Amino acid sequence: MNMISSQRWNFLRRVLGVFVGRGRGGEREVKIVMGSKLRNGELMLEMEDKSGVAGGVRDAYGEDSATKDQPVTPWTVSVASGYSLLRDPHFNKGLAFTKKERDAHYLRGLLPPAFFNQQLQEKRLMNNLRQYETPLHRYVAMMDLQERNERLFYKLLINNVEELLPVVYTPTVGEACQKYGSIFRRPQGLFISLKEKGKILEVLKNWPEKNIQVIVVTDGERILGLGDLGCQGMGIPVGKLSLYTALGGVRPSACLPITIDVGTNNEKLLNDEFYIGLRQKRATGQEYCELLHEFMSAVKQNYGEKILIQFEDFANHNAFDLLEKYRTTHLVFNDDIQGTASVVLAGLISALKLVGGTLADHTFLFLGAGEAGTGIAELIALEISKKTNAPLEEARKKIWLVDSKGLIVRSRVESIQNFKKPWAHEHEPVKQLIDAVKAIKPTVLIGTSGVGKTFTKDVIEAMVSFNKKPLILALSNPTSQSECTAEEAYTWSQGRAIFASGSPFDPVEYEGKVYVPGQANNAYIFPGFGLGLIMSGTIRVRDDMLLAASEALAAQVTEENYEKGLIYPRFSNIRKISAHIAANVAAKSYELGLASHLPRPKDLVRFAESCMYSPIYRSYL
């Protein structure tokens, strides 16, 4: 009763006719005793008390008196108590319910007598997780926890982020997506398929939470470096949004994972009897564009102008088109293009303290010219242009890209995709990466190819031959697709390389010295970036905001980090880092006139911290 205002309670009693009782499992319910039936073609509402006598079972829905051809509408308003409270992940506290709470909410006998506070629950669950030898089993255990006790899930993730991040995110989430059909238990987001065309707005309204602030959406065509996983790509939006909450403090109820299912070209999945998606080849062309446009329009109609839509793991040919098409009409952000670029730029800015010079003094060579590669390259060029006041076209000349056919040069301009054309510089054709390295003599080598073992010993040794401290970033995910391992980078460079990767690697000992590899993980950027957009009420994303996020992240690298060869801060401080990123992004939004939450807070860092979700249990008394 304490969860329903007295005014609303009296209204329910007068208009609908209600009773308060103890339902199934001791559940305390406010029942609207009204069954609707069709009699002689007319809708009849039954308002009489359906209570049984002598403690008998109530026929609250009118089911017993209805025949099979008489539809019944269940009208129910429930206050979470008893068994239903224990099954609600938003409110369940398990053994942390106090004696008074157990009495007040009919939990006596439904729980063992012991009381475990949240700290003890966390200790017990971490002990259990560490017993699993297989990362996928830890992933499944964490997802099970999220589905039964939301606050404890986030408490674990926040307090043990360095240990659990590889479990709920890359690299384990890649394997989880590959096996999603087998481990699927209950929906954690919305599945919108071609079958819902013309009804997407209606589907969005089926989601129980109405105050959505951020959506992460994928069509599953390019999941990490694993390719087309179709509907099973849902693991990516779910994982990303759990990090929005744990690392960026966005409320779980404000997050909505969505998978757009237009089919899959993965024959293995199409022939898998347990595949959970549409069994058809991918829709393309007009059919695909119409579905995506309906989705984007429905999202804006249902959630408003300031809903953040993060595109995730779309294939190159769609990712660039979608970002270009909707960036002027919606609040959109592509993590593969923009988030990756921002986190890599932050690492490059911080690495300047180790290698010296400015960004404009360095030469960059990319292996991979897709979403990530071209996105990073463009943001580096923007930063160089901004710092040197040089034209963007001039800044781009410091950056070279290698794709599957070799170095991107002017003579290939007619045969390459539009997003690669800005990087086609004057140079003779070069087919192999090793030859490109020797010809260009880069100071920075960046891998975004999605192909493992491509930074060979010859490539690393060539980098060392003309660099005192070569900067090597092997960014492809998951670990199996990394261009090289940390051990290979340090060993082949005789410990001279400054190394970071997309997936985590353990520290490496080489000739008596321990090297700690950094992780250029998008999770540094997107949670704080999203929080900054949300808390300022930003209506559009601009590149200057990405530069602001990069600079904020680079500023969080400490001298202690540099001494270990790290170009990124430790994840253990991620909420503090996210608050500073959010503040920088919000400040840039206010500066550009794109923020709608006015007046601007005086202390944006403190305001960001005050906006963050806390997983601490609440009292229900």
Q: 3-state DSSP call for residue 468?
A: coil
Angle in degrees, 0-180, between the axes of helices 235-246 and 161-168, rounded to the nearest 10: 160
Q: Quick one: average pLDDT of 288-314? A: 97
Q: 3-state DSSP call for residue 299?
A: helix
Between the CA of residue 606 and those of 246, 549, 575, what are the distances in Å? 18, 17, 12
Query: Tell me: the pLDDT tens digits for 579-594?
Result: 999 999 999 999 999 9
Alpha carbons within 13 A on the beta-carbon side of 547: 16
For residue 495, name the pLDDT band (cuts at 50, 70, 90).
very high
Structure tokens at 373: 């590669």
Strands 42-46 and 76-78: unpaired
For residue 470, name the pLDDT band (cuts at 50, 70, 90).
very high
Greater confidence (485 vs 621) lies with 485
Average pLDDT, the chain: 88
Beta strands in 502-570 (DSSP E): 508-510, 513-515, 518-519
Long-range contact set of residues 195-204: C-beta below 8 Å, sequence gap at least 24:
195/278, 197/290, 197/291, 197/294, 198/294, 200/291, 200/294, 200/295, 200/298, 201/298, 201/301, 201/302, 204/298, 204/299, 204/302, 204/303
* Residue 7 pLDDT greater than 80, yes or no: no
Q: Annotate 511-545 with DSSP letters as a single string.
A: TTEEE--EE--GGGTHHHHHHHHHHHTB-S--HHH
Q: Quick one: average pLDDT of 91-97? A: 95
pLDDT for 276 equals 92
Choosing from 240, 306, 398, 588, the catalytic residue is 240
* Tokens 């329903």 found at: 4
pLDDT for 65 equals 53
pLDDT for 329 equals 97
* Residue 57 pLDDT greater than 70, yes or no: no
* Residue 515 pLDDT greater than 70, yes or no: yes
Greater confidence (177 vs 434) lies with 434
pLDDT for 565 equals 85
pLDDT for 151 equals 96
pLDDT for 357 equals 93
| Proportion of the chain above pLDDT 70, given as a percent | 87
* Tokens 């307090």 found at: 159
Q: Is 83 a catalytic residue?
A: no
pLDDT for 43 equals 42
Q: Quick one: average pLDDT of 17-44? A: 43
Query: Tell me: the pLDDT tens digits for 98-108?
Result: 999 999 999 99
275 Cβ partners below 8 Å, 6+ apart?
181, 230, 231, 232, 269
Q: Is 205 a catalytic residue?
A: no
Residue 218 · residue 236 · CB < 8 Å: yes
pLDDT for 225 equals 73
pLDDT for 34 equals 41
Strands 399-403 and 406-407: antiparallel
d(CA 194, CA 260): 8
pLDDT for 174 equals 87
pLDDT for 46 equals 42
For residue 82, name the pLDDT band (cuts at 50, 70, 90).
confident
Residue 422 · residue 373 · CB < 8 Å: no
Q: How far apart are the first and last CA of the chain?
A: 11
CA–CA–CA angle 417, 423, 428 (5° rounding): 100
Residue 400 backbone phi and psi in degrees, to 5: -125, 145
* Residue 74 pLDDT greater than 70, yes or no: no
d(CA 13, CA 7): 10
For residue 67, name the pLDDT band (cuts at 50, 70, 90).
low
- How much of the chain is in helix, strand and coil states, percent to nearest 5? 45, 15, 40
For residue 38, name the pLDDT band (cuts at 50, 70, 90).
very low
pLDDT for 68 equals 53
Residue 309 Rama label (left phi>0; alpha psi -120 to 50; beta):
beta
Query: Tell me: the pLDDT tens digits for 223-280?
Result: 877 889 999 999 999 999 999 999 999 999 999 999 999 999 999 999 999 999 999 9
34 Cβ partners below 8 Å, 6+ apart?
16, 17, 45, 46, 47, 75
Residue 437 · residue 364 · CB < 8 Å: no
For residue 56, name the pLDDT band (cuts at 50, 70, 90).
very low
Q: Identify the weakest region by mean pLDDT among 155-159, 262-266, 315-319, 436-440.
A: 315-319
Burial bucket for residue 77 (CB in 10 Å: 0-12, 13-18, 19+): middle
Choosing from 106, 139, 154, 169, the catalytic residue is 169
Angle in degrees, 0-180, between the axes of helices 371-388 and 543-554, rounded to the nearest 10: 80
Query: Tell me: the pLDDT tens digits for 542-580?
Result: 999 999 999 999 999 999 999 888 999 998 899 999 999
Residues linked to residue 365 through DSSP beta bridges, in sequence order: 400, 445
* Residue 28 pLDDT greater than 60, yes or no: no
Residues linked to residue 43 through DSSP beta bridges, in sequence order: 38
